[in-house]
Structure 1
């Protein structure tokens, strides 16, 4: 009788735990460096952890070369710049395939250090300098990382210095309207998205 009386309580506990159990079952582990966006695009200079499952000899810490490639045993030269870690892992796996009679082993690639994604904030900010990030950073986020505006900062004439294949370019940045918030902006989607800084870009606040 005691067991029958306890049965409703046990059923209730199981029902309450069911969603948690289902959620745990649906979780897919993602191997990625802490703080790095899985969709982060790799840059020259980044350090990558590469692991071929089942073969400890093929575990390497690799730095992406200035030309955007990396070298990996049995896989040769692999294009890495402007690709996600998932894309790089699939490319290495494809390159390894001819070395295996059966299906090639799984490959895991993770960003150890996103040092290649380094941008700079100069001028009238509290802590000017270079900053590294494992995710895309817009100009306001970059300004926050630099400690915010210093006294007498001229946000109306802020610019981004950007190195392109055609040479260095200057891009004006309209920060004053955004920094004034709701006083100058309507709610809803921005007509013009905030510029995103890339590797080597310099945000200048005169």
Structure 2
């Protein structure tokens, strides 16, 4: 089980870890605890790898089907959707005990497809092309805005905001001065973005 938890931590940290700001002072969202990482629930379309120690022929790598199940040799269908990797591994291990002596099972998430949209970064408002883009480690506000084609001539670039969901499901807003970033090279508010962030650029009032 220690192997499962260790690999799950590595995968999830790569997907949902929030980075501190590049040269600004935006406080990253609270770190997810070990318990929260272990509680990640497998979703439909997530890619799951099942390995059985010393029995490689019983291993399988497959996406979770729409019915939330995966098929495992000897065992048959096993419910994976809505459960943790540890719970699925324990279930398979128990069922394999009828066929294999003291089986040791590991369930590893190799692709978190079900959370694709939860990890995207969105740019809306007075930009040339509002976008929803996949999060990439090290991505900044400037990267996201450039992916949206930059601001329009009607943008109030000095009054942009970055909205971020906190660990308690509340959200917080952080002022971003795109005018300083784009036109003066001032990276003070060029924060590193986190999965799920939304950047809004309002229009000027005339």
TM-score by length of 1: 0.51
Distance 1:158 1:193, change over 3 A: closer
Of 92-101 and 117-126, deviating more is 92-101
Match of 2:180 in 1: 177
User: 2:123–2:145: 8 Å Cα contact kept in structure 1?
Assistant: yes
Q: Indicate whether 1:52 and 2:50 are aligned.
A: yes
The alpha carbon displacement at 1:60 in A equals: 3.1
Matched residue pairs, number? 148
In structure 2, the gaps of 5 or more residues are 1-10, 17-39, 52-56, 71-77, 97-101
The alpha carbon displacement at 1:197 in A equals: 3.7
Distance 1:141 1:204, change over 3 A: same
User: 2:118–2:195: 8 Å Cα contact kept in structure 1?
Assistant: no
Distance in 1 of aligned mates of 2:181 and 2:44: 32
User: 2:162–2:199: 8 Å Cα contact kept in structure 1?
Assistant: yes
Q: If you compute each CA radius of gyration, which structure gives the higher value, 1 or 2?
A: 1
Distance 1:181 1:96, change over 3 A: farther
Q: Indicate whether 1:78 and 2:69 are aligned.
A: no
| Offset from partner CA, 1:78-112 (integer Å, 9 cap, x none) | 34xxxxxxxx5x77546644444232256452234
TM-score by length of 2: 0.51
Distance in 2 of aligned mates of 1:103 and 1:205: 53
| Offset from partner CA, 1:41-70 (integer Å, 9 cap, x none) | 38997841113244477733368xxxxxx8
Distance in 2 of aligned mates of 1:146 and 1:111: 25
Q: Indicate whether 1:204 and 2:200 are aligned.
A: yes
User: 1:160–1:202: 8 Å Cα contact kept in structure 2?
Assistant: yes
Distance in 2 of aligned mates of 1:124 and 1:93: 48
